[in-house]
Amino acid sequence: MSESVQSISKTQYLADVAQAAKSPGPKWLLELRKAAAVRLAELEFPNRRQEEWRFTNIAPIVNTSFRSMVERLAIDLRAADIEPFVFREEGWTELVFVNGFYQPSLSRIAAASTNVRCGDLTAAAGSVVEHLDRYGANGNIFTALNSAFLAGGAYVHIPAGQVMEHPIHLVFVSAGRSENTAAYPRTLVIAEPQSQAVLVESHVHLEGNVPYFNNSVTEVVVKENAHVHAYRIVQEGASSYHLSTTKVHQAAASVFKSFAVTLSGKIVRNELSVLLDGEGADCSLQGLYLTGGDQLVDNATAIEHAQPRCTSWIGYKGVLDGRSHGVFTGKIKVRRHAQKTDSKQLNNNLLLSDEAVINTKPLLEIFADDVKCTHGATVGRPPEEVIFYFKSRGISEAMAQGMLTCGFCDALLSQMELEPVRQRLDNVVFERYSPI
Amino acid sequence: MLVIENLHATVEGKEILKGVNLAVRAGEVHAIMGPNGSGKSTLAHVLAGNDAYEVTEGRVTFMGQDLLEMPPEERARLGLFMAFQYPVEIPGISNAYFLQAALNEIRKSHGQEELDAMEFQALLQDRMRLVAIDSSFAGRPVNEGFSGGEKKRNEILQMAILEPRLAVLDETDSGLDIDALRIVADGVNRLRSPDRAMIIVTHYQRLLNYIVPDFVHVLFEGMVVRSGGKELALELEAKGYDWVKGLGVESGSGLALAQS
Ligand SMILES: Nc1ncnc2c1ncn2[C@@H]1O[C@H](COP(=O)(O)OP(=O)(O)OP(=O)(O)O)[C@@H](O)[C@H]1O
Ligand SMILES: [Mg+2]
């Protein structure tokens, strides 16, 4: 019902959007914001009567009146402040965004011999920005919200045939935030035909316990025969909210591989949707979520097989402790035309406490007849006989649990090819769960 | 070293051990034989402290301490080791990491220094050579995808590293090829010493040619019904278990030797 009472948060967003619209920018940006503002006014926040949101209670986000960050804060961050988040590896390009706005002084662009272009989205060329909102524009209210407030963000453009030797790391830092502020990280990646790139997107914070909201959107265009490996790390503040939408569009024979890791944040929801829109495209979505306390972490993955002979793999693992709540969805849609689809998914969860909860479900909509689609999920603790085996060798139950938890995570992390990222995440897992 | 008196144990409400008596002194090797389902593995698991089995009566002393009061990890740290009839697979944890953790827990409990990765590697390589296990097994997850015989050999590798005071080997010889049998027997014999003891559960007299026991016991329907020297194994082989079925419990079986 369109007459329904507007939430206070939406009233605030609409008021702020009017102000954001006035902030200067190129013509395309003004038009994009304007169109998004119209959608924002029409769309409603999701509620738990909707299938996709059945287990995910975002009332704390919907019912808070967040002030949107329409311009960059005048805060003086130093290289040392962001030291824990960057890698500073030889050859890497690392672009730093503070509350969504590009921060050239903290960024480092490798003196590359390539003609890869990357940087502040608002300064990108017309041929690049024309991809914005093309793949997620008809999405939910959160993508509209992000576009309506678009004032910064990142873009990466890899020209045809360019095989990048080193990764590009996009670091989104939340810093200097006052209570209940909303920021809008935005990323656009275009991999032209035959190109290859490795990207890392991390969402980190310098805040203690300030409740803030990051509403992030990433669009990835993977053209014919291009290969993109995307790592995503969410490490937000303990009282913060992080909702993200990643839309991936794949052309024929392209490859998209993602690793999405959620380490912290009070409520985190990562929506990752892939459209396999060319024959023989291949995508692999893997992820790990480590939860505790009263966290809510939702990973909503969706793959649409629109063309024949595409392959997809979804493999997510979760370790849930405390009273935390995990949600995992693996949605596979196979269009009538998409014969010879091969799709697999697996979601494994380790519950470390009796009060932790996981809701896991595959959603399959298959309209083609010659397809292979499998799915599976496990939830639980290590079997008693496994724990007893440890004990019979002198290892206590607590230590056995720790070792098994590390092993559980390691089985996924060991598949990461990007060594520095794998190493860092290994350390996080080790520090959190290792008994030794 | 180990004294079991009138041990009764149930699993899922069913009584399996019905008054086991057994005494093992340092330096001795005891073989336990008996038909399928007679309770041999149950006895091994009860000694190791598996709480899937409930002890309803009796007592067990090990190294002068009340064994049944101790959690399984403390029993292991005190020097008790069971080689499982069916070793468990542990995905995600390498053999080397598992064994290093186990050895260091045991060493810590004795106030000894932990071995670092280098020291442990050296020990591991040495023991892997002794039990003829390929070094690639160090990095593989514990028992995962191992063949039946490889799992058994891996149990012996663990024993060779942890150097227990009392090893209970539950059908470690089953499923081994002839070469492996000799290697396992060598591993066991190398560990034999005046201050260590072994209980070897087996169905086959053959193993006892390699590991010559001091005593042989027959477990039948949850009780030790006969005890004797190594010739008892030959007698069993000749006569079969039907012979045992006709016998009552010979008084003092299992315990007779403790008094001497
Ligand atoms: N977890 C269990 N649940 C139910 N019954 C069990 C369980 N463990 C053992 N039993 C039963 O207890 C009895 C003794 O089993 P146990 O494994 O001790 O025999 P065993 O002497 O080792 O036999 P085998 O020579 O075949 O290894 C069997 O009848 C078995 O079915
Ligand atoms: Mg048995």
Q: What is this model's ipTM?
A: 0.95
Q: Are B25 and B198 in contact (CB under 8 A)?
A: no
DSSP secondary structure letter of residue A262: E
Q: In 3D, which of B160, B143, B161, B144 has the Cα closest to residue B152?
A: B143
Give contacts of B73 with chain A, Cβ < 8 Å.
390-397
Confirm or reject: Cβ of B13 under 6 Å from ligand 1: no
Tokens of B260: 């001497």
Confirm or reject: Cβ of B71 under 6 Å from ligand 1: no
Q: Are A190 and A151 in contact (CB under 8 A)?
A: no
Angle at which helix A141-148 crosses helix A8-20, to 10 degrees, equals 30
Confirm or reject: Cβ of B40 under 6 Å from ligand 1: yes
What would the pLDDT profile of A77-107 be if each residue is shown by its tens digit? 999 999 999 999 999 999 999 999 999 999 9
**Identity of the residue numbered A236:** E
Give the integer Cα–Cα distance in Å for A65 and B44: 64
Residue B38 CA to ligand 1 center (angstroms) comes to 7
Backbone Cα Rg of chain B: 18
Give the integer Cα–Cα distance in Å for B199 and B246: 26
pLDDT at B255: 65
Q: Which ligand is nearest to the CA of B40?
A: 1
Give the integer Cα–Cα distance in Å for A375 and A363: 9
Give the integer Cα–Cα distance in Å for B257 and A308: 77
What would the pLDDT profile of B83-118 be if each residue is shown by its tens digit? 999 999 998 899 999 999 999 999 999 999 999 999
pLDDT at A5: 59
pTM of the model: 0.90
Q: Are A225 and A215 in contact (CB under 8 A)?
A: no
pLDDT at B260: 35
Q: Are A181 and A67 in contact (CB under 8 A)?
A: yes
For residue B88, give Cα distances in angstroms to A220, A385, B85: 44, 7, 9
pLDDT at A136: 67
Q: In 3D, which of A360, A399, A408 has the Cα closest to residue A381?
A: A408
Tokens of B71: 């959690």
pLDDT at A376: 95
What would the pLDDT profile of A102-146 be if each residue is shown by its tens digit? 999 999 998 765 789 999 999 998 889 999 998 865 578 999 999
Instruction: Give A129-146 as a DSSP string.
Output: HTTTTTTTTTS-HHHHHH
Q: Are A87 and A169 in contact (CB under 8 A)?
A: yes
Give the integer Cα–Cα distance in Å for A145 and A36: 7
CA A85, chain centre distance (Å): 17
Q: Are A122 and A151 in contact (CB under 8 A)?
A: yes
Residue B91 CA to ligand 2 center (angstroms) comes to 24
Partners of B168 in the β-ladder? B82, B199
What is the rounded end-to-end Cα distance, in angstroms, of chain B? 14
State whether A403 and B102 contact (CB < 8 Å): no
Residue of B nearest to A399 (CA): B101
- Which residue is closest in CA terms to ligand 1's atom 6? B11
pLDDT at A93: 95
Q: In 3D, which of B77, B45, B202 has the Cα closest to residue A384?
A: B45
For residue B37, give Cα distances in angstroms to A371, B40, B42, B54, B220: 48, 7, 9, 17, 9
Element (H, E) at A155: strand A154-158
Q: Are B159 and B189 in contact (CB under 8 A)?
A: no
How close does chain B come to A343, measured CA to CA in Å? 25
A299: helix, strand or coil: strand
Confirm or reject: Cβ of B41 under 6 Å from ligand 1: yes
From the alpha carbon of B203, which atom of ligand 1 is closest?
A: 25
Confirm or reject: Cβ of B177 under 6 Å from ligand 1: no
Residue B18 CA to ligand 1 center (angstroms) comes to 13
Residue of A nearest to B110 (CA): A394
Q: Are B128 and B95 in contact (CB under 8 A)?
A: no
Q: Are B210 and B42 in contact (CB under 8 A)?
A: no
A381: helix, strand or coil: coil
Which residue ranges make up each domain of chain B?
A: 1-24+52-69, 71-165+188-195
Instruction: Please tell me which of the candidates A385, A391, A403 has its beta carbon nearest to residue B73.
Output: A391
Give the integer Cα–Cα distance in Å for B232 and B237: 9
Which residue ranges make up each domain of chain A?
A: 3-278, 386-436
Confirm or reject: Cβ of B39 under 6 Å from ligand 1: yes
Kindly indicate whether the domain formed by B71-165+188-195 is annotated with CATH number 3.40.50.150: no
Question: Which parts of chain A sit beneath pLDDT 70?
Answer: 1-6, 112-113, 136-138
State whether B88 and A406 contact (CB < 8 Å): no
Question: Which parts of chain B sit beneath pLDDT 50?
Answer: 256-260
Residue B46 CA to ligand 1 center (angstroms) comes to 12
Tokens of B20: 């086991």
Confirm or reject: Cβ of B222 under 6 Å from ligand 1: no
Give the integer Cα–Cα distance in Å for B200 and B207: 9
Give the integer Cα–Cα distance in Å for A159 and A194: 9
- Which residue is closest in CA terms to ligand 1's atom 5? B11
Q: Which ligand is nearest to the CA of B35?
A: 1
For residue B184, give Cα distances in angstroms to A358, B96, B160, B207: 46, 20, 10, 9
State whether B76 and A396 contact (CB < 8 Å): no
Tokens of A23: 């902030």
Residue B50 CA to ligand 1 center (angstroms) comes to 13
Q: Over the range A232-270, which residues count as b (16 or more CB within 10 Å of their CB) and which as e?
A: bbbbbbbebbbbbbbbbbbbbbbbbbbbbbbbbbbbbbb
Q: In 3D, which of B62, B98, B65, B107 has the Cα closest to residue B80?
A: B62
Q: Are A376 and B33 in contact (CB under 8 A)?
A: no
- CB within 8 Å of A181: residues ≥ 6 apart: A66, A67, A68, A69, A99, A212, A213
Give contacts of B88 with chain A, Cβ < 8 Å.
385-386, 388-389
